Amino acid sequence: MERFAGQTVIVTGAAHGFGRAIAHAFAWEGANVWACDVNTEGLGETARLVYHDGLTVHTRAVDVGDAAAVGAFVSEVVAETGRIDVLVNNAGGVRGQVGRPIEEISPADWQAIFAVNVDGAFFFAQAVAPQMKERRSGRIINISSGAGLGISLTGIQAYASAKAAQIGLTRQLAHELGAWGITVNNVAPGFVRSNPTTERQWDSYGEEGQRKLIDAIALKRLGTPEDIANAVLFFASEGAGWITGQVLSVDGGK
């Protein structure tokens, strides 16, 4: 069943992990997918994997923290397709940083994490809003983290703060845009081995730490990128038409 046939979907941060799985899932369900990232090599691999299944995804190199670049990309998508039905703000992460004492965090380090996790979500929502308002329909799904609801396992202050801010943005935009039939929701993943950063994090725990992490999960297993993609597709579906401003923890149960 192609639930999203004829719909145009933008997925940010699609070079690997959640973004790749989300882009692939929407393509499989018939959507016209436009995927972006700054990691062009990974983005190319996403395209190859999608094409391997006989599907199509359009890819572009876009820095989500650059408002002008975001606007240009969204304008291109609208010019080509005439519509944007779904925006998935997945781009994020820790930008190569590790946990350090607060005294050691520079303004540049702090801002770098906010730029990709919060600014990018804001710039993309701002860019797609006029077209969605005109059509009086749209879905915006932000990908946060369990860190935004609690604390960061890595101890990165900016990451926990940025994800919490993104959740606040989700709720605010839901109320602002709801009058035009636009829903805005948030998926908060638990720990998933989905990219090089999470692989390094997993390895750093050692066998005992890995066992403790899994034992703390109700379902006693780690999640997969596909688990996150399934939640995103639900929020984008007709079945979620009266759900907005919500945060769905996809973490195996805590």
Whether 211 maps to a domain, the answer reads yes
Q: Which residues contact 41 (CB under 8 A, 6 or more apart)?
A: 15
Q: Which residues contact 173 (CB under 8 A, 6 or more apart)?
A: 125, 140, 184
The residue segments making up the domain with residue 132 are 8-250
Whether 48 maps to a domain, the answer reads yes
Residue 34 phi, psi dihedral angles, 5° rounding: -120, 115
Whether 212 maps to a domain, the answer reads yes
Determine whether 51 is an active site residue. Answer: no
Structure confidence at residue 1 (pLDDT) = 63
Structure confidence at residue 154 (pLDDT) = 85
Place of tokens 């190569």: 96
Work out how many domains the chain is built from and give that number: 1
Q: In b/e form, how buried is each residue of 95-104, taking b as 16+ CB within 10 angstroms? A: eebeeeeeee
Whether 75 maps to a domain, the answer reads yes
For 25-68, how does the pLDDT look when each residue is reduced to its tens digit (9 = 90+)? 999 999 999 999 999 999 999 999 999 999 999 999 999 999 99
The shares of helix, strand and coil residues in the chain, as percent rounded to the nearest 5, are 55, 15, 30
CATH number assigned to the domain comprising residue 181? 3.40.50.720
As a whole number of angstroms, the distance between CA 239 and CA 150 comes to 29
User: Which residue intervals of the chain are DSSP H helices?
Assistant: 17-28, 40-52, 67-81, 107-114, 120-135, 157-177, 196-215, 225-236
Whether 134 maps to a domain, the answer reads yes
Structure confidence at residue 250 (pLDDT) = 97
pTM recorded for the entire structure: 0.95
As a whole number of angstroms, the distance between CA 169 and CA 83 comes to 23
Q: Choose, from 28, 124, 159, 191, the residue flagged as catalytic.
A: 159
- Write out residues in the chain with pLDDT < 70, as ranges: 1
